Amino acid sequence: MRFDFSDKVLTVFLSGEIDHHNAGNIRQRTDSEIIKCSPTLLVLDFTDVTFMDSSGVGLVIGRYKLAKEIGCNTAVTGVSARDKKILMMSGLQNKIEFR
């Protein structure tokens, strides 16, 4: 997991497996980075994610909500077809941009 902050855009490069066990740590690290950087756009990059279940949906929705509170938009990128299917079950595509 890696962060990049430039031009007010915070990109979170997620990696490995996103499940309930790992989500807590990802959540904490991402939230403190959002608060520290105060970006105007949050990009969650799923390119290096090898597994995701519905815990990933909770993770994205939670970050979207926090970002929204500070006036920041959220986008996701690099999402595989199957992970997209899971993320879209929640209607997330109406709230955030899929790139």
Partner 1 sequence: MKAKLNDFKINIMARSVNEGFLRTVVAAFSALADPTIEEINDIKTAVSEAVTNSIVHGYREKQGRIYIDAVLFSDNTVKIKIRDKGCGIEDVKKAMEPLYTTAGDERSGLGFSVMESFTDKLSVRSTPGKGTVVTLTKKITGKCE
Q: Which residues of this chain interact with partner 1, rule CB under 8 A? A: 17, 19-21, 23, 27, 51-55, 57-59, 61-62, 65, 82, 85-86, 89-90
Tell me how far, at minimum, the Cβ of 89 lies from partner 1, in Å: 5
Tell me how far, at minimum, the Cβ of 98 lies from partner 1, in Å: 17
Please, which residue, 43 or 55, has the CB nearer to partner 1? 55
What are 32's two structure tokens? Answer: 């403190």
Please, which residue, 37 or 61, has the CB nearer to partner 1? 61
Hunting for tokens 């991402």 — which residue is that? 30
Tell me how far, at minimum, the Cβ of 55 lies from partner 1, in Å: 7
Question: Across-strand partners of 18?
Answer: 52
Report how far apart, in Å, the C-alpha atoms of 22 and of each of 6, 51, 55, 71, 97 are.
26, 11, 9, 27, 24
Q: How many residues does the chain have?
A: 99
